[in-house]
Structure 1
Amino acid sequence: MGRKGMALMVVLTTLILVSGIGTLLFLRTLNEMRHSQLDEKIVQTLMLARAGALVGGGFLSGPLRDQLDALVQGQASTTSCWALGGGDCSAQEPDPILTAQALNNLARALQDRVDQLTCNQDFSPEAGLSITLRVHFTDSACGQTLPTGIQLPPGRFVEGAPRSANQAATQTYALPFVLVAQGGAGIYRRNVVVQGEYRFTLGRSSFARYALFTHIHTLPNGTDIWFTDGTLFDGPVHTNTYFRFYRRPWFGGPVTSAGCTNPSQDGQACGSQRAGAYFYGQGFLSPTQMQPSPSAPVVTNRYGTHAPTFAGGIDWQASFIPLPQNAQDQKAAAQNGGLYFSQGVMSLKLSFQCENANGAKVACDTPQAIKYQYIEAQICQNRACNRVQREVYRYTEGGPLEKEQNNGRFQTVRPSFNGVIYVDGGVESLEGPGRNGNQPTPALASFAQITVAASGTIRIQGDLTYEIPPCTSPSRRNPDGTITPANCPNSQAQNILGIYSQDGDVLIGENAPDNVQIHATLMSSSGVVAVENYNRTRARGTAYLLGGIIEKYYGAFGTFNSTTGQQQTGYGRTFVYDPRLRRGLAPPFFPTTGKDQVLAVTLFAYGQREQLY
């Protein structure tokens, strides 16, 4: 072979070697790129799965709590000393076997609610990525079994005390759960599995939890009340009788109807029950007659389409809830740790102010300022109430209740104040401190929690507002028909007011200002929450209520021209439900329903593991 041949062989060999090395380098680069992409996807899907676990925690403590509360209302005992399970009332805890059985039934019902809210739902806010959840309270969730190697123990009683006839103790129970959060990016998947306990505390449900409650859903004279396009309720709505629907009312919370055909006048008995509701121009329909379904009925006739929205669910066969027979609990609370007035009260004024150490009024942001909640009463000295005595009380957060003396100094009359003011008689005028221009001056300090209860009628003659209102705007219906719920950014606010009449009405009085603002839950066991002489006073703007209304009959606020819609007398209504009430916050010693409510939920995570697919 010549030099040229040898040179060619060397060149070819070199090319082959270089090509091989290049190929190896190229393949190695591709492999490294693949590993780099895989590492990136592993990290990305892991972050998504972890985010999903956080979403799941928010779901368990938020939307699922509402579902649990609805189930507890139906499943917890109203007569036993133990809410769930049963057993010896002299024991320190309920029978563990009975409790496990009751909690197992609750878990199965809760699993159905969980699956409806989570299965086939993508919780990722970004296209191309996915976050899915499934939550196990039973062995199967979203059609899938528990992850390998994990089992669910039975539910259990955690702590609490048995109830007696005069003591509504709280009780805490636990449901074990497994949360599987999966993050996805393309073909890549990663799971985070969290195992723990879902603990919930039960206590007697307060009437304050309702946005609207009626024993008989008519005016006192028997006039029918219709929910219309203008009806927007964010919170729970209940009647012991029937609802009537015209056009498209909207309900953001659970709606329940007991369907009592002959409810007693004393609010204690239901008579026979018939499930269903009235639709304008159609008459009464039972759930089986509602199309396309009882949860979303639609009736179309010559008067339009009548299709109420039940965003929080509907129960046409809810339990009858009796109204309180007396106000003895509130009276006793006032006598033992609050303020008790044995005669009617001409006026009751709530206000607060900040003072320095010398008692001078100062701005509340002044260093060392002391904030006092004031209660000023003009107390009737005879039955005609033409002689009155002025008394002034005040207290600070966690401090004693003090009474003003003749020398202007304040003296402690109770080491602490339980928040209850009870009047044996009526309250002719309940109001706040007045207005600054057109704006109400707040009546309740940020820490104040007060219930004003009376045996007779209570007249609200002025604005009553919170220093820190939980909500800043009402729900509204948009031009396209969608609903923007109320804006409630201050859900941790603690100021709260309840106004309760046992044998009278709660009235917005004739001296109340135009566009009156009331932050409170209002309740009348024997009458109505209404505007005094609603059909004989001039048009006075809108009554803005932040809280809820509980009443025997539906109370009227004003009248409108049926043709033009123009207000003729009284007030229009703007109701905003206080969402804190549904989570268990209530005015002190406010009447309870005899049913249980979820007062608090707590998540305990016992372990977490990650899985790569």
Structure 2
Amino acid sequence: MQTNSSQGLMRARALAEASVAESYSTVMNDGVTKANQVLLPYVDTFAAGSQDAATTAIIPTGSYNTVLSQLNTVVQTSTSITAPNAIGTSSGTLTFKNFRVDLGSFSKAGQTYYVDYVLNGQGNSGSFKRNIETSGTLRLILGRTYLNQYVLLADDGGFTERSCITKNGKKYCSGGGYFGTGSVFDGPVHFNKNLALAGSPVFQYGLTVASPTTYMWDCQAQAWAVTTAQSTDCAKPDYGGYGQQHVSDAVTLPPNAFSQGRAALGGDENNQTALTTKEICLATGKVQNCTPTNGVYVPNSSGTVSGGIYIQGNAQDVQLSVEGQNQVYRITDEAGVVTVIKVNVTAKTTSVKTGSGQVVNLTGVPNGQFYVNGNIQSLRGPARNGSLPNPAPSTPDSSVVPPAIAEQTQLNVASSGDIRIQGDLTYEKNPNQNPDAKNVLGIISGGGQVLVGQGAPNDVYVMGSILAGATGKGLKVEGIDDAKAVYGYRGKVHLLGSLAEATDQLRGIGSVTGGLVKGYDDDFKYDKRFLNGGVVPPYFPATTKFGVTAFIPQQRTWEEK
């Protein structure tokens, strides 16, 4: 009897814990989406009033009780579990209490709010019952949505409409630029306009489009149908069960990278005006009326690093690599001078060697902003150690593709012009295999393209957030539209992270009813850390819209009642 009682009580407790765990899972997964439904009207009203989040509350105090009631209505969940083999059942509830604000959190970027939660679970196994209650606090960060929230975000999907006809009440057009068979996107995807689909591209988390229609290839008409349909006779995209949603909110991309330049010089990154000659001269240790000298600079004050890494003029080559605990930058400037910078985040030290000169040791580490006031003609990691299997996997073997970004490195590489990727750029710790990974990379072209260079390997691997937000710019395969360039099929661009671009660019050429014959397919995997602003590269831009950017539970108590 004692053994039977002990086992019955253990089963009942396990069932009670299962209900609590399921409710907690709901908070973590559906919580952000459902909380957005509640908070978005307040956020939209705030944004429409052009108010300053540093001084004015996004959610008025008088609305707290209403918000709390809405959270309990929209997010509240009741769980019910039936264990196999008649072991027992359990039920659980989630309740929110005490919605409030952190007054000390007010800033231009957003505000932090808190709400307490209580999870109750009751387990039943025969005549045995156990009740468990877990309580904690949710931190809701209302702030600007960062552009790495999407695995792919484009203002313009890249389709160019030409002549159109109307047949049987439907509009059909000629044109070009589309997403087709072979393209796979493992994360949120959004386009504002001009999106065309053919074959069977895969959008595993669905697709949102701000425009009322998309272009779908119609094999019977042999033209692009202008439609709101999810598919046509031969265009059958896979939406991962989420579908294609039209007329969603448009997302505006910031068009410049001047703030990244100031951050690299140790200035005010929020000042988005063009850098002045005086600012560059003073930050690089020259007199204020100088002509900026091309070269590599690590701004410092009396031997202590005071900014990031700044390059005046073009960078012929930037190679990123890992050496022990050091993040290594090997930079060849416009004049061909090689500068090697080694940063040890743990020891908080930086060493700089320019050409054949002496090593200069500095205290502290750069702030994470690497900026080139010109073009980056080659950006790459270490060379590969051997060949990839065929077909190449989405996640590379680090023994074949050595990491470029050290475990503790948080880096944003930006330029005022083009950035040409000529090699793999991978993390020492893959975040989708190590969710607590700290390494993160941003790649921003302020006024040009981010190019996959003609010297890039087949099946190139890039981990990070890419942004090319200037009008008409995006991620492009260099020379793909040049009839003289000899390409053939180059495999895939394996991106683990996000891409935000003004206009989607040509990366491959093929048939609307088949695969590519020239260039690269898209294999875009989402870095799950980017969801709701959990991880963002340093000084990475955000949209002008406010939203719920984090929904973070912190457990306080666990007790049996």
Letter in 2 for 1:46: R
Q: Give, in whole Å, the separation in 2 of the partners of 1:547 and 1:126.
A: 43
Q: Percent identity?
A: 27
Q: Give, in whole Å, the separation in 2 of the partners of 1:256 and 1:524.
A: 20
SS at structure 1 position matched to 2:20: helix
1:575 aligns with 2:524: yes
Could you tell me which residue of structure 1 aligns to residue 393 of structure 2?
none
Q: Give, in whole Å, the separation in 1 of the partners of 2:352 and 2:26.
A: 47
* 1:126–1:577 Cα change, 3 Å: farther
Check whether the contact 2:371–2:415 (CA below 8 A) recurs between aligned residues.
yes
1:335 aligns with 2:335: no
Residue correspondence of structure 1 range 215-294 to structure 2 within 5 A: 215-219=155-159, 223-228=175-180, 230-241=182-193, 243-246=195-198, 249-253=201-205, 255-259=207-211, 275-281=212-218, 283-285=225-227
Q: Give, in whole Å, the separation in 2 of the partners of 1:95 and 1:202.
A: 10
- TM-score with structure 2 setting the length: 0.75
Residue correspondence of structure 1 range 60-71 to structure 2 within 5 A: 60-65=27-32, 67-68=34-35
Letter in 1 for 2:405: L
Could you tell me which residue of structure 2 aligns to residue 269 of structure 1?
none
Could you tell me which residue of structure 2 aligns to residue 544 of structure 1?
494
* 1:114–1:225 Cα change, 3 Å: farther
Check whether the contact 1:202–1:598 (CA below 8 A) recurs between aligned residues.
yes
SS at structure 2 position matched to 1:161: strand
Could you tell me which residue of structure 1 aligns to residue 371 of structure 2?
422
* 1:575–1:90 Cα change, 3 Å: closer
Q: Give, in whole Å, the separation in 2 of the partners of 1:62 and 1:349.
A: 38
* 1:568–1:411 Cα change, 3 Å: same
Letter in 1 for 2:474: V
* Deviations, residues 254-288 of structure 1 (Å, cap 9, x unaligned): 643222xxxxxxxxxxxxxxx454554494555xx
**Which of 327, 333, 337 is equivalent to 1:389?**
337
SS at structure 2 position matched to 1:571: strand
Q: Offset at 1:490?
A: 1.2
1:528 aligns with 2:479: no
**Which of 410, 434, 450 is equivalent to 1:449?**
410
Structure number with larger C-alpha Rg = 1
1:50 aligns with 2:2: no
Could you tell me which residue of structure 2 aligns to residue 97 of structure 1?
61
Q: Give, in whole Å, the separation in 2 of the partners of 1:437 and 1:239.
A: 38
SS at structure 2 position matched to 1:521: strand
Could you tell me which residue of structure 2 aligns to residue 603 of structure 1?
554
1:440 aligns with 2:401: yes
Could you tell me which residue of structure 2 aligns to residue 157 of structure 1?
101
* 1:80–1:543 Cα change, 3 Å: closer
Q: Give, in whole Å, the separation in 2 of the partners of 1:302 and 1:81.
A: 42
SS at structure 1 position matched to 2:106: coil
Q: Give, in whole Å, the separation in 1 of the partners of 2:243 and 2:42.
A: 17
SS at structure 2 position matched to 1:333: helix
Check whether the contact 1:195–1:608 (CA below 8 A) recurs between aligned residues.
no
Q: Give, in whole Å, the separation in 1 of the partners of 2:464 and 2:59.
A: 41
1:303 aligns with 2:270: no
Residue correspondence of structure 1 range 303-322 to structure 2 within 5 A: 303=234, 306=236, 308-311=238-241, 315-322=245-252
Q: Offset at 1:466?
A: 1.3
Q: Give, in whole Å, the separation in 1 of the partners of 2:53 and 2:424.
A: 50
Check whether the contact 1:202–1:600 (CA below 8 A) recurs between aligned residues.
no
SS at structure 2 position matched to 1:309: coil
Q: Give, in whole Å, the separation in 2 of the partners of 1:448 and 1:389.
A: 25
Q: Offset at 1:404?
A: 1.0
* 1:239–1:542 Cα change, 3 Å: closer
Q: Give, in whole Å, the separation in 2 of the partners of 1:81 and 1:561.
A: 45
* 1:55–1:406 Cα change, 3 Å: same
Q: Offset at 1:522?
A: 1.4
Q: Give, in whole Å, the separation in 2 of the partners of 1:257 and 1:588.
A: 28
Between Structure 1 and Structure 2, which shows a larger proportion of strand residues?
2
**Which of 86, 93, 111 is equivalent to 1:171?**
111
Could you tell me which residue of structure 2 aligns to residue 19 of structure 1?
none
Q: Unpaired segments of 5 or more residues in structure 1?
A: 1-32, 138-151, 260-274, 291-296, 355-370, 381-386, 471-487
Could you tell me which residue of structure 2 aligns to residue 17 of structure 1?
none
Letter in 1 for 2:506: A
Q: Give, in whole Å, the separation in 1 of the partners of 2:152 and 2:554.
A: 31
Q: Give, in whole Å, the separation in 2 of the partners of 1:175 and 1:224.
A: 50
SS at structure 1 position matched to 2:61: helix
SS at structure 1 position matched to 2:153: strand
Q: Give, in whole Å, the separation in 2 of the partners of 1:198 and 1:503.
A: 40
* 1:125–1:502 Cα change, 3 Å: farther
Q: Offset at 1:568?
A: 2.1
SS at structure 1 position matched to 2:102: strand
Could you tell me which residue of structure 2 aligns to residue 26 of structure 1?
none
Could you tell me which residue of structure 2 aligns to residue 211 of structure 1?
151
User: RMSD value over aligned CA atoms?
Assistant: 3.6
* 1:210–1:313 Cα change, 3 Å: same
* 1:55–1:303 Cα change, 3 Å: closer
Check whether the contact 1:81–1:89 (CA below 8 A) recurs between aligned residues.
no
* Deviations, residues 147-177 of structure 1 (Å, cap 9, x unaligned): xxxxx44x1113533334xxx2x53212233
1:555 aligns with 2:555: no
Q: Give, in whole Å, the separation in 2 of the partners of 1:285 and 1:214.
A: 19
Check whether the contact 1:69–1:598 (CA below 8 A) recurs between aligned residues.
no
Could you tell me which residue of structure 2 aligns to residue 588 of structure 1?
538
User: Bigger CA drift: 438-447 or 191-200?
Assistant: 191-200
Check whether the contact 1:206–1:593 (CA below 8 A) recurs between aligned residues.
yes
Letter in 2 for 1:344: N
Check whether the contact 2:179–2:198 (CA below 8 A) recurs between aligned residues.
yes
Q: Offset at 1:114?
A: 4.9
* 1:187–1:530 Cα change, 3 Å: farther
Could you tell me which residue of structure 1 aligns to residue 273 of structure 2?
none
Check whether the contact 1:235–1:582 (CA below 8 A) recurs between aligned residues.
no
Check whether the contact 1:157–1:173 (CA below 8 A) recurs between aligned residues.
yes
Q: Offset at 1:242?
A: 5.7
* 1:519–1:97 Cα change, 3 Å: closer
Check whether the contact 1:96–1:157 (CA below 8 A) recurs between aligned residues.
no
**Which of 450, 461, 468 is equivalent to 1:517?**
461
Check whether the contact 2:183–2:523 (CA below 8 A) recurs between aligned residues.
no
User: Bigger CA drift: 51-60 or 309-318?
Assistant: 309-318
* 1:560–1:255 Cα change, 3 Å: closer
- TM-score with structure 1 setting the length: 0.69
Check whether the contact 2:101–2:112 (CA below 8 A) recurs between aligned residues.
yes
Could you tell me which residue of structure 2 aligns to residue 378 of structure 1?
332
* Deviations, residues 382-424 of structure 1 (Å, cap 9, x unaligned): xxxxx33322212101413331156654324563211111111
Q: Offset at 1:603?
A: 2.6
Q: Give, in whole Å, the separation in 2 of the partners of 1:401 and 1:74.
A: 47
Check whether the contact 2:92–2:119 (CA below 8 A) recurs between aligned residues.
yes
Q: Give, in whole Å, the separation in 2 of the partners of 1:70 and 1:393.
A: 47
Count of aligned residue pairs for this structure pair: 483
Check whether the contact 1:99–1:157 (CA below 8 A) recurs between aligned residues.
no
SS at structure 1 position matched to 2:420: strand
Letter in 2 for 1:391: T
Q: Give, in whole Å, the separation in 1 of the partners of 2:243 and 2:75.
A: 11
